[in-house]
Amino acid sequence: MNKLKFAIIGCGRISYKHVEAITNNFEDSVLVATCDVVKEKAEEKAKEYKNKTGLDVAVYIDYKEMIKNEDIDVVTIATESGYHPEIAIYAMEQGKHVIVEKPMALSIKDADLMIETAKKTGVKLAVCHQNRFNKPIQMLRKAIEENRFGKLINGMASIRWNRNMNYYKQAPWRGTWELDGGTLMNQCIHDIDLLQWMMGGEVETVYAQTGNFIRDIEAEDFGAIIIRFKNGSIGIVEGSACVYPKNLEETLSIFGEKGAVVIGGLAVNRIETWRFEDGKDSEEEILKNQEDDPDTVYGYGHTPLFKDVIEAIKNNREPLINGIEGKKGMEIILAAYKSQKTGMPVKLPLHDFSTLDMKEVNLRR
């Protein structure tokens, strides 16, 4: 099979990871076009790719024009979150496979329409929850699948980060209900996705308390969620953009009757605790043989995620994180928002809710 031809739509903060992933999968992929409404940003990513590979890349400011003019197999979307559904659905309707950054959408309706469009058109839809590919996360998932924990009791996703006002001022769409949501939807969704993946993936109820404490944004800068899974286990989420003076940690902790695991590091990439009753492996050895932290909180997961999508296209199978999987973390967060709005626990599945339904809710504390 020939190399798959990629195009990137949205060339802001995260897009260099898309360039990196396409470059690292060079045997199977080539970047043919970049697109951003700010032409200089698209040019910058095209130049980045050329510096790595020596290959020229076409530059566009209109994604529809790009899709019309260029021979493209896969579109990757790294625009503001609120624009993801419209672009993804258009691209899929033109027969393009899609890799979309998290969150895939900001409403249940849009996420369902994206999943439906992928099914209808026969293309692949993948969502960038790249931390699922971290080596320690894969080890933890294997331990879950092998039932090494026994009965699952509880899990915790703790995101203790700092996002100061400069971060929000750099891109005024951040922290808005229309295009982003708050710290739960933007910063915490990766860890929430991992939590639900480990705890069984089927949620019964969600209860949340959130607030806007110190950041001058529409949405929350801190949120706490309690999740009851259908298998009886309980998930707890603590998500903050207010930790002084800088990022402290992002950890995932899973506890069962016969096991306890804590994974931390810069991007949930380092095992801190690994204890099992079965004694199959040594915590001391595992803690000793670990890789260094990645260069940023984005981690190294985009490269294997893109590889998984390439293989899914080649072998006509679903990507590991398809639309159905990509929706799960987002649905928990939307349920948390609905819970904050109503003051009540929210039963899943959630049939229709959007970040826009939070517009009139005063979160200021």
Helix (H, G, I), strand (E, B) or coil at 9: strand
Q: Which of 152, 241, 133 is nearest to 199 (CA)?
A: 152
What are the residues facing 236 on neighbouring strands?
156, 226
> What pLDDT is attached to residue 298?
80
Determine, yes or no, domain membership for 365.
Answer: no
> What pLDDT is attached to residue 300?
87
Q: What is the pLDDT along the chain (365 residues), one digit of tens a residue?
A: 699 999 999 999 999 999 999 999 999 999 999 999 999 999 999 999 999 999 999 999 999 999 999 999 999 999 999 999 999 999 999 999 999 999 999 999 999 999 999 999 999 999 999 999 999 999 999 999 999 999 999 999 999 999 999 999 999 999 999 999 999 999 999 999 999 999 997 999 999 999 999 999 999 999 999 999 999 999 999 999 999 999 999 999 999 999 999 999 888 999 999 999 999 999 999 999 888 887 778 888 999 999 999 999 999 999 999 999 999 999 999 999 999 999 999 999 999 999 999 999 999 99
Determine, yes or no, domain membership for 312.
Answer: yes
Helix (H) and strand (E) counts in the chain: 12, 14
Determine, yes or no, domain membership for 151.
Answer: yes
Determine, yes or no, domain membership for 170.
Answer: yes
> What pLDDT is attached to residue 183?
98
Q: Are residues 189 and 72 in the same domain?
A: no
Determine, yes or no, domain membership for 31.
Answer: yes
Number of structural domains in the chain: 2
Q: Are residues 186 and 216 in the same domain?
A: yes
The CATH number of the domain holding residue 350 is 3.30.360.10
Determine, yes or no, domain membership for 245.
Answer: yes
Determine, yes or no, domain membership for 234.
Answer: yes
> What pLDDT is attached to residue 1?
64
The CATH number of the domain holding residue 93 is 3.40.50.720
Q: Are residues 104 and 226 in the same domain?
A: no
CA distance 243 to 79: 27
Q: Are residues 83 and 38 in the same domain?
A: yes
Q: Are residues 165 and 101 in the same domain?
A: no
Determine, yes or no, domain membership for 109.
Answer: yes
Q: List Cβ neighbours of 229 (8 Å cut-off, separation of 6 or more).
A: 152, 196, 199, 200, 202, 203, 204, 235
**Domain range for 85:** 4-129+300-322
Q: Are residues 155 and 267 in the same domain?
A: yes
Q: Are residues 208 and 236 in the same domain?
A: yes
Q: Are residues 120 and 217 in the same domain?
A: no
Q: Are residues 164 and 91 in the same domain?
A: no
CA distance 163 to 200: 31
Please state whether beta strands 74-77 and 4-9 pair in parallel, antiparallel, or not at all (unpaired).
parallel
> What pLDDT is attached to residue 299?
83
Q: Are residues 281 and 153 in the same domain?
A: yes
- Show the tokens assigned to 213: 């404490």
Instruction: Report whether 150 contacts 259 (CB < 8 A).
Output: yes
Q: Are residues 27 and 10 in the same domain?
A: yes
Q: Are residues 94 and 171 in the same domain?
A: no
